[in-house]
Structure 1
Amino acid sequence: MNLQQLQYLSVLAQTENYTKAAKILHITQPTLSYAINNLEEQIGIQLFEKHGRSIKLTQNGKSFAAESAQALEILNQAIERARNINSTDKTIKIASLRTLNTLWLPNTIKDFLEKRSSGSIEPYFDFGSGTGFSLQMTQLLREEKFDICFCSKIDDKDDIDYFPVVEQKLVLITPFDHPLANKKSIDLTETLKYNQITFSSNSGLYFELERLFSICGGTPKSIYKVEEDESVAGMVAAGFGIAVVPKMRMLDRMAVKIIPIRFPKWHRFIYMATLKKHYQNAVTQEFIDFVHQFKGINDV
């Protein structure tokens, strides 16, 4: 059994089609068939069985393919680390929500640099440009364009490790002359009949509020969909409607009434997201470890 056989198995297990797998691997179908048959003989397990014109993993095959995929990932990471032992790469590629860029992220980087021992490699932080939305960031993280993203949790796929670093309370904001403006606190079911400014699907808050309002058994009456929370607040201040937004310092300077949410109880979390299979150079891993150790959840 060798590394190449495990790589072939990984692709064939995903496609369950020799023709497609051979095309992905850039080899001939007979070469792939020979490698898999040889692997089955070596381990004494039937990995695949015919299922009409296609193939399916056997139960034993499913177990072996899943565990060998984990082993393959570990081996690939070991190879990458060995190749980079003497590497001088010191770049940490980061993307972050704009709400963290003013204070939290600069202070975190400053604290990290101050705690590092003198004489160690000075890291270079490469800040992603053109992104400020969680959906875009996680897509680019999966494409390995970034090492670390500070963003909302977009989905529950297990390829990304999410570590909570910031907690934000959500509030309802209304114009001062709105019928709900005199409320001391609000049950969000009371808001469903009013026009609302909501977040577009580019924003991580879109997914957060979708889950939040599902608890209320309804959907906001959205008249505008906006990407950034500052813009949402501006639309509310101009009298276009009401909105649920993170509690931000800037709200105190705007012509809006800030109302605590009584139901549902909900806090928004912002996470440090890292791709599990992505190789991290030494300084990037050092920064990740620092965040894990010293930068737990804090209110923005």
Structure 2
Amino acid sequence: MNLHQFRFVQEAARRGLNLTETAKALHTSQPGVSKAILELEEELGVDIFTRHGKRLKRITEPGLQVLKSIDAIMREVGNLKRIGEEYSLQDAGTLSIAATHTQARYMLPEPVAALRKRFPKVMVSMHQGTPAEVARMLLDESADIGMATESIHEIDGLVTLPCYEWQHVLVLPPAHPLAAVERPTLEQLAAEPLVSYQSAFTGRRRIDAAFAQRRLKPNFVLEAIDSDVLKTYVKLGLGIGIVAEMAVRDDPPGGDLVSRPLGYLFGQNISRVAFKRGAYLRNFVYTFAELLSDRLNRALIARAMGSEQEGDDYVL
């Protein structure tokens, strides 16, 4: 057996047992993938997959156990590569970050800039996506660290830690009648055309849950993932906006929009930092996590990861 066979089996499971997609992802041929999987099954003496003709239909019971072992082996292979990088290039490499738009736009610029000052030889690669896409990039090891609010803590295979709390705010033109109201009610908001995030982004589920609990049907007239886009349409008079407080943090006083905190209606949201469970984290990944929040430090992260990769300067 060999790593190529393991990689083919692992990718086939990830691609929903579609051998065509598996071959494309691994830049090889479909017959080559099929042959490698069959050879591994013959060597192990068990069927990893059931088949209908040449098509894979499902993962067998022993196949599930094989996949668990393969995942562990491939994770350790990745760790070996990172260890080599760590000790051959102590202060250089690539930090790959996966984040939602709000995190990338409002929360990450200062920590990224601070990291580059400390590690000028580290190149930063930023990937933006939905929380589910952030999780997938971490699991696929195309990202070292992820950051999101919605649902990322529910994903198996990830270690997530609270990074910071934030609330939604109402944004509206100064001339709007609700601008004179310090604490608008859900009923008042439901009576207005609303502009806010798409359902998978930036705490939108908490907003929907608050309206549903009061049996209110809000009138969302526009949804987007970008807070700046939402604010633009509010300025154009399309509706009043519900956005993350980070999006108005740097707005100048006396500008085109005013804001009102809405934490008393929608509660507090928790943005979390995430890592693949068992992954080897290089020194500059730990440093970047510490730059993200005072809540995070190497000891806490290593303990959460169940890791024994601490260095001489690391004390629990």
* Shared fold, TM over 0.5: yes
Helix, strand or coil at the partner of 1:80: helix
The one-letter amino acid paired with 1:168 is W
Change (3 A) 1:77 1:150: same
The one-letter amino acid paired with 1:57 is I
Distance 1:100 1:20 in 2: 36
- 2:74 alignment counterpart: 73
Query: How far 1:72 sits from its partner (Å)?
Result: 1.9
Question: 1:134·1:151 contact (CA, 8 Å) conserved in 2?
Answer: no
Distance 2:194 2:51 in 1: 55
- 1:38 alignment counterpart: 43
Q: Return the TM-score normalized by structure 2.
A: 0.63
- 2:163 alignment counterpart: 165
Which residue, 89, 92, 97 being the options, matches 1:90? 92
Q: Return the TM-score normalized by structure 1.
A: 0.66
Helix, strand or coil at the partner of 1:97: helix
Change (3 A) 1:72 1:250: same
Superposed CA offset, 1:248-277 (max 9, x none)? 334561354433326543223333344558
Which residue, 195, 198, 201 being the options, matches 1:197? 195
Does residue 1:126 correspond to 2:126, yes or no? no
Distance 1:148 1:233 in 2: 29
Distance 1:172 1:271 in 2: 23
| Structure with greater Cα Rg | 1
Distance 1:180 1:293 in 2: 34
Query: How far 1:46 sits from its partner (Å)?
Result: 5.6
Distance 1:226 1:49 in 2: 42
Distance 1:124 1:273 in 2: 24
Distance 2:259 2:179 in 1: 8
Distance 2:35 2:259 in 1: 68
Change (3 A) 1:145 1:17: closer
The one-letter amino acid paired with 1:124 is K
Question: 2:82·2:280 contact (CA, 8 Å) conserved in 1?
Answer: yes
Change (3 A) 1:168 1:293: closer
Query: How far 1:224 sits from its partner (Å)?
Result: 4.2
Change (3 A) 1:226 1:56: closer
Q: Which moved more, 1:96-105 or 1:30-39?
A: 96-105
The one-letter amino acid paired with 2:189 is T
Helix, strand or coil at the partner of 2:182: coil
- 2:173 alignment counterpart: 175
Distance 1:278 1:223 in 2: 42
Identity, % of aligned pairs? 18
The one-letter amino acid paired with 1:283 is N
Q: Which moved more, 1:284-293 or 1:92-101?
A: 284-293
Query: How far 1:160 sits from its partner (Å)?
Result: 5.0
Question: 1:153·1:162 contact (CA, 8 Å) conserved in 2?
Answer: no
- 2:107 alignment counterpart: 100
Question: 1:175·1:238 contact (CA, 8 Å) conserved in 2?
Answer: no
Unaligned residue ranges in structure 1 (runs of 5+): 114-121
Distance 2:217 2:278 in 1: 37
Query: How far 1:170 sits from its partner (Å)?
Result: 1.3
Superposed CA offset, 1:107-142 (max 9, x none)? 6x49x94xxxxxxxx45343447x7x5539838945
Superposed CA offset, 1:136-188 (max 9, x none)? 98389457665445444475544554433232221223333434334332333
Distance 1:94 1:49 in 2: 37
- 1:117 alignment counterpart: none
The one-letter amino acid paired with 2:43 is N
Q: Which moved more, 1:145-154 or 1:183-192?
A: 145-154
Distance 1:158 1:277 in 2: 12
